Amino acid sequence: LKSRCFVVAVMASENGVVDQILQTVQTGGPAVLFAANAFAAGFGLPTIPLNIYCGAAYGYVGGVLMYSLSATCGGLVTLLVVRSSLRPFILRRLKKYESKWKAMDMALAKEGPLFIVTLLRLSPAFPFFMASWILGLTSCPLPHFVAGTLVGIIPSSVPFAAAGAAASAAQSSDGSSVGQWIMTGLGLLATIALTWKLTKVAQKALESASAEQQHREA
Protein backbone atom coordinates (compact mmCIF):
# COMPACT_ATOMS: atom_id res chain seq x y z
CA LEU A 1 0.00 0.00 0.00
CA LYS A 2 2.77 2.46 0.91
CA SER A 3 4.45 1.79 -2.41
CA ARG A 4 1.26 2.57 -4.34
CA CYS A 5 0.67 5.72 -2.30
CA PHE A 6 4.23 6.88 -2.93
CA VAL A 7 3.96 6.37 -6.71
CA VAL A 8 0.65 8.24 -6.85
CA ALA A 9 1.99 11.21 -4.86
CA VAL A 10 5.35 11.46 -6.66
CA MET A 11 3.54 11.63 -9.99
CA ALA A 12 1.97 14.90 -8.77
CA SER A 13 5.21 16.35 -7.41
CA GLU A 14 7.71 18.50 -9.26
CA ASN A 15 9.61 19.70 -6.20
CA GLY A 16 12.79 17.99 -5.05
CA VAL A 17 12.25 18.87 -1.38
CA VAL A 18 8.72 17.47 -1.50
CA ASP A 19 10.07 14.29 -3.13
CA GLN A 20 12.46 13.89 -0.19
CA ILE A 21 9.60 14.41 2.24
CA LEU A 22 7.57 11.76 0.43
CA GLN A 23 10.52 9.36 0.68
CA THR A 24 10.57 9.93 4.45
CA VAL A 25 6.79 9.58 4.76
CA GLN A 26 6.89 6.26 2.90
CA THR A 27 9.05 4.70 5.61
CA GLY A 28 7.07 6.18 8.51
CA GLY A 29 3.58 5.96 9.90
CA PRO A 30 0.68 8.38 10.42
CA ALA A 31 2.67 10.55 12.84
CA VAL A 32 5.42 11.06 10.27
CA LEU A 33 2.91 11.97 7.56
CA PHE A 34 1.16 14.38 9.94
CA ALA A 35 4.44 16.09 10.86
CA ALA A 36 5.64 16.20 7.24
CA ASN A 37 2.49 17.87 5.97
CA ALA A 38 2.45 20.31 8.89
CA PHE A 39 6.06 21.23 8.05
CA ALA A 40 5.27 21.68 4.35
CA ALA A 41 2.21 23.83 5.03
CA GLY A 42 3.98 25.85 7.70
CA PHE A 43 7.01 26.65 5.53
CA GLY A 44 5.30 27.28 2.21
CA LEU A 45 6.24 24.06 0.39
CA PRO A 46 3.86 22.49 -2.15
CA THR A 47 1.36 20.32 -0.27
CA ILE A 48 -0.72 18.89 -3.12
CA PRO A 49 1.45 15.72 -3.43
CA LEU A 50 1.08 15.15 0.32
CA ASN A 51 -2.65 15.79 0.08
CA ILE A 52 -2.86 13.13 -2.62
CA TYR A 53 -0.72 10.78 -0.53
CA CYS A 54 -3.12 11.25 2.41
CA GLY A 55 -6.03 10.17 0.21
CA ALA A 56 -4.11 7.24 -1.24
CA ALA A 57 -3.00 6.03 2.19
CA TYR A 58 -6.13 6.62 4.27
CA GLY A 59 -8.98 6.84 1.82
CA TYR A 60 -11.31 9.69 0.96
CA VAL A 61 -12.52 10.71 4.44
CA GLY A 62 -9.39 9.72 6.35
CA GLY A 63 -7.20 11.52 3.83
CA VAL A 64 -9.18 14.75 4.12
CA LEU A 65 -8.99 14.63 7.92
CA MET A 66 -5.28 13.81 7.97
CA TYR A 67 -4.41 16.59 5.53
CA SER A 68 -6.70 19.26 7.02
CA LEU A 69 -5.67 18.68 10.63
CA SER A 70 -1.94 18.56 9.87
CA ALA A 71 -2.03 21.61 7.58
CA THR A 72 -3.94 23.53 10.25
CA CYS A 73 -1.20 22.68 12.75
CA GLY A 74 1.40 23.89 10.26
CA GLY A 75 -0.45 27.17 9.81
CA LEU A 76 -0.68 27.59 13.58
CA VAL A 77 3.09 27.13 13.90
CA THR A 78 3.62 29.84 11.27
CA LEU A 79 1.30 32.23 13.12
CA LEU A 80 3.07 31.60 16.44
CA VAL A 81 6.48 32.18 14.82
CA VAL A 82 5.28 35.51 13.42
CA ARG A 83 3.99 36.52 16.85
CA SER A 84 7.19 35.49 18.63
CA SER A 85 10.25 37.58 19.41
CA LEU A 86 10.92 37.59 15.66
CA ARG A 87 7.97 39.93 15.09
CA PRO A 88 10.04 43.17 14.78
CA PHE A 89 12.31 41.54 12.20
CA ILE A 90 9.32 40.13 10.28
CA LEU A 91 7.59 43.52 10.30
CA ARG A 92 10.64 45.09 8.68
CA ARG A 93 10.86 42.35 6.06
CA LEU A 94 7.14 42.57 5.23
CA LYS A 95 6.92 46.35 5.26
CA LYS A 96 5.59 46.40 1.68
CA TYR A 97 2.61 44.29 2.79
CA GLU A 98 1.73 46.63 5.67
CA SER A 99 -1.40 47.93 3.98
CA LYS A 100 -2.65 44.37 3.47
CA TRP A 101 -2.37 43.20 7.05
CA LYS A 102 -3.70 46.47 8.45
CA ALA A 103 -6.72 46.20 6.14
CA MET A 104 -7.06 42.57 7.21
CA ASP A 105 -7.02 43.58 10.87
CA MET A 106 -9.84 46.05 10.28
CA ALA A 107 -11.82 43.45 8.33
CA LEU A 108 -11.38 40.98 11.20
CA ALA A 109 -12.78 43.52 13.63
CA LYS A 110 -15.72 44.42 11.40
CA GLU A 111 -16.78 41.06 9.93
CA GLY A 112 -15.56 38.74 12.66
CA PRO A 113 -12.32 36.73 12.73
CA LEU A 114 -13.88 33.31 12.12
CA PHE A 115 -15.69 34.50 8.99
CA ILE A 116 -12.65 36.26 7.51
CA VAL A 117 -10.19 33.44 8.26
CA THR A 118 -12.55 30.91 6.65
CA LEU A 119 -12.87 33.09 3.55
CA LEU A 120 -9.09 33.49 3.35
CA ARG A 121 -8.59 29.74 3.42
CA LEU A 122 -11.24 29.23 0.76
CA SER A 123 -9.83 31.91 -1.52
CA PRO A 124 -7.13 30.88 -4.04
CA ALA A 125 -5.88 34.48 -4.15
CA PHE A 126 -4.16 34.04 -0.78
CA PRO A 127 -1.63 31.17 -0.62
CA PHE A 128 -1.89 29.21 2.62
CA PHE A 129 1.56 30.19 3.84
CA MET A 130 1.20 33.90 3.07
CA ALA A 131 -2.28 34.06 4.65
CA SER A 132 -0.85 32.55 7.85
CA TRP A 133 1.90 35.19 7.91
CA ILE A 134 -0.53 38.05 7.34
CA LEU A 135 -2.94 36.76 9.99
CA GLY A 136 0.00 36.44 12.38
CA LEU A 137 0.50 40.19 12.12
CA THR A 138 -3.14 40.87 13.02
CA SER A 139 -5.03 40.53 16.29
CA CYS A 140 -6.85 37.36 15.15
CA PRO A 141 -7.55 35.14 18.21
CA LEU A 142 -5.97 31.68 18.12
CA PRO A 143 -9.24 29.70 18.46
CA HIS A 144 -10.78 31.56 15.51
CA PHE A 145 -7.61 31.07 13.47
CA VAL A 146 -7.61 27.32 14.08
CA ALA A 147 -11.35 26.83 13.49
CA GLY A 148 -11.45 29.05 10.38
CA THR A 149 -8.38 27.39 8.90
CA LEU A 150 -9.69 23.88 9.48
CA VAL A 151 -13.11 24.63 8.01
CA GLY A 152 -11.71 26.67 5.14
CA ILE A 153 -9.16 24.18 3.81
CA ILE A 154 -11.41 21.11 3.87
CA PRO A 155 -13.15 21.91 0.55
CA SER A 156 -9.86 22.41 -1.32
CA SER A 157 -8.38 19.22 0.13
CA VAL A 158 -11.32 17.03 -0.90
CA PRO A 159 -10.57 16.72 -4.66
CA PHE A 160 -6.91 15.80 -4.11
CA ALA A 161 -7.66 13.29 -1.37
CA ALA A 162 -10.38 11.78 -3.56
CA ALA A 163 -7.98 11.60 -6.50
CA GLY A 164 -5.39 9.86 -4.34
CA ALA A 165 -7.93 7.37 -3.05
CA ALA A 166 -9.21 6.66 -6.57
CA ALA A 167 -5.70 6.26 -8.01
CA SER A 168 -4.69 3.91 -5.19
CA ALA A 169 -7.84 1.85 -5.74
CA ALA A 170 -7.10 1.70 -9.47
CA GLN A 171 -3.61 0.30 -8.86
CA SER A 172 -5.06 -2.45 -6.69
CA SER A 173 -8.21 -2.97 -8.77
CA ASP A 174 -9.74 -6.38 -8.49
CA GLY A 175 -12.06 -6.00 -11.44
CA SER A 176 -14.48 -3.36 -10.23
CA SER A 177 -17.42 -2.77 -12.50
CA VAL A 178 -17.46 0.03 -15.06
CA GLY A 179 -20.50 1.44 -13.30
CA GLN A 180 -18.56 1.85 -10.05
CA TRP A 181 -15.78 3.72 -11.82
CA ILE A 182 -18.28 5.97 -13.57
CA MET A 183 -19.95 6.83 -10.25
CA THR A 184 -16.56 7.51 -8.66
CA GLY A 185 -15.58 9.80 -11.54
CA LEU A 186 -18.88 11.67 -11.42
CA GLY A 187 -18.55 12.13 -7.67
CA LEU A 188 -15.03 13.51 -8.09
CA LEU A 189 -16.16 15.94 -10.79
CA ALA A 190 -19.07 17.10 -8.64
CA THR A 191 -16.68 17.69 -5.72
CA ILE A 192 -14.31 19.71 -7.91
CA ALA A 193 -17.22 21.81 -9.21
CA LEU A 194 -18.46 22.49 -5.68
CA THR A 195 -14.97 23.44 -4.51
CA TRP A 196 -14.56 25.81 -7.45
CA LYS A 197 -17.90 27.44 -6.65
CA LEU A 198 -16.99 27.88 -2.99
CA THR A 199 -13.67 29.50 -3.87
CA LYS A 200 -15.40 31.93 -6.27
CA VAL A 201 -17.93 32.91 -3.60
CA ALA A 202 -15.15 33.39 -1.04
CA GLN A 203 -13.08 35.49 -3.43
CA LYS A 204 -16.07 37.73 -4.23
CA ALA A 205 -16.84 38.17 -0.53
CA LEU A 206 -13.22 39.13 0.22
CA GLU A 207 -13.12 41.61 -2.64
CA SER A 208 -16.39 43.13 -1.44
CA ALA A 209 -15.10 43.48 2.12
CA SER A 210 -11.84 45.02 0.86
CA ALA A 211 -13.67 47.52 -1.37
CA GLU A 212 -15.96 48.50 1.48
CA GLN A 213 -12.99 49.00 3.79
CA GLN A 214 -11.21 51.20 1.24
CA HIS A 215 -14.38 53.25 0.81
CA ARG A 216 -14.62 53.76 4.57
CA GLU A 217 -10.98 54.89 4.72
CA ALA A 218 -11.55 57.37 1.87
**pTM of the model as a whole:** 0.74
Residue-wise burial string across 138-174, b where 16 or more C-beta atoms lie within 10 A, e elsewhere = bebeeebbbbbbbbbbbbbbbbbbbbbbbbbbeeeee
Closest CA to 53 of 22, 15, 16: 22
Q: Report pLDDT digits (tens) over 30-86.
A: 898 899 899 999 888 888 888 888 888 888 889 999 999 999 999 999 999 988 877
Q: Report pLDDT digits (tens) over 76-91.
A: 999 999 888 778 887 7
User: For 9-23, 79-93, 115-129, 165-179, which range has the lowest pLDDT when averaged over its residues?
Assistant: 9-23
* Angle formed at CA 21 by CA 185 and CA 128, multiple of 5 degrees: 65
